[in-house]
Amino acid sequence: MPGNTFGKLLKITTFGESHGPALGGILDGLPAGIQIDLERIQRELERRRPGQSPLTTARKEADQAALLSGIFEGRTTGTPIGFTIPNADARSGDYSHNEANYRPSHADYTYDAKYGMRDHRGGGRSSARETAARVVGGALARQFLEQLYPQGPMPAVSAYVERVQDIAMPSPPAYHAPERVDAHPVRCPDPETARRMEERILEVKKAGDTVGGTVVVVARHIPAGWGEPVFDKLHADLAKALWSLPAVKGLELGSGFSGTLMRGSDHNDAFTSASGHIRTATNHSGGIQGGISNGEDIVLRIAFKPVATILAEQETVNRAGDAATIAGRGRHDPCVLPRAVPMVEAMVLLVLADHALRQRSARL
Site size with a copy of itself, rule: CB under 8 A: 160
d(CA 86, CA 136): 13
d(CA 306, CA 320): 28
Measured CA distances, 270 to 137, 258, 273, 279, 280 (Å): 37, 19, 10, 8, 5
d(CA 28, CA 121): 30
268: exposed, middle or buried (Cβ count in 10 Å: 0-12, 13-18, 19+) = middle
Residue 317 sits in the site that holds a copy of itself (CB under 8 A) = yes
Least CB distance from residue 11 to a copy of itself, whole Å?
4
Are 100 and 319 in contact by the 8 Å Cβ rule? The answer is yes
Are 64 and 55 in contact by the 8 Å Cβ rule? The answer is no
Residue 194 sits in the site that holds a copy of itself (CB under 8 A) = no
Range list of H helices, 106-230: 108-115, 131-146, 178-181, 191-206
Contacting a copy of itself (CB under 8 A), which of 42, 52, 53, 165? Answer: 165
Contacting a copy of itself (CB under 8 A), which of 62, 196, 251, 329? Answer: 251
Residue 74 sits in the site that holds a copy of itself (CB under 8 A) = no
Residue (178 or 234) nearer to a copy of itself, CB: 234
Contacting a copy of itself (CB under 8 A), which of 209, 297, 329, 331? Answer: 209
> Among 38-46, 54-62, 67-75, 188-196, which window interacts with a copy of itself (CB under 8 A)?
67-75
d(CA 329, CA 311): 7
Phi-psi region of 157 (alpha: psi -120 to 50; beta: other; left: phi over 0): beta
d(CA 58, CA 78): 38
Contacting a copy of itself (CB under 8 A), which of 80, 100, 195, 329? Answer: 80
Distance from the first to the final alpha carbon of the chain: 36
Contacting a copy of itself (CB under 8 A), which of 64, 96, 110, 171? Answer: 110
> Among 39-47, 49-57, 187-195, 203-211, which window interacts with a copy of itself (CB under 8 A)?
203-211
d(CA 80, CA 101): 40
> Among 37-45, 52-60, 72-80, 177-185, which window interacts with a copy of itself (CB under 8 A)?
72-80
Residue 38 sits in the site that holds a copy of itself (CB under 8 A) = no
Residue 13 sits in the site that holds a copy of itself (CB under 8 A) = yes
Residue (172 or 270) nearer to a copy of itself, CB: 270
Contacting a copy of itself (CB under 8 A), which of 114, 154, 191, 192? Answer: 114
Residue 107 sits in the site that holds a copy of itself (CB under 8 A) = yes
Residue (91 or 177) nearer to a copy of itself, CB: 91
Are 36 and 73 in contact by the 8 Å Cβ rule? The answer is no
Least CB distance from residue 111 to a copy of itself, whole Å?
6
Residue 151 sits in the site that holds a copy of itself (CB under 8 A) = no
Contacting a copy of itself (CB under 8 A), which of 117, 170, 172, 206? Answer: 117
Residue 22 sits in the site that holds a copy of itself (CB under 8 A) = yes
Residue 211 sits in the site that holds a copy of itself (CB under 8 A) = yes
Handedness of CA 111, 333, 156, 13 (dihedral sign): negative
Are 76 and 30 in contact by the 8 Å Cβ rule? The answer is yes
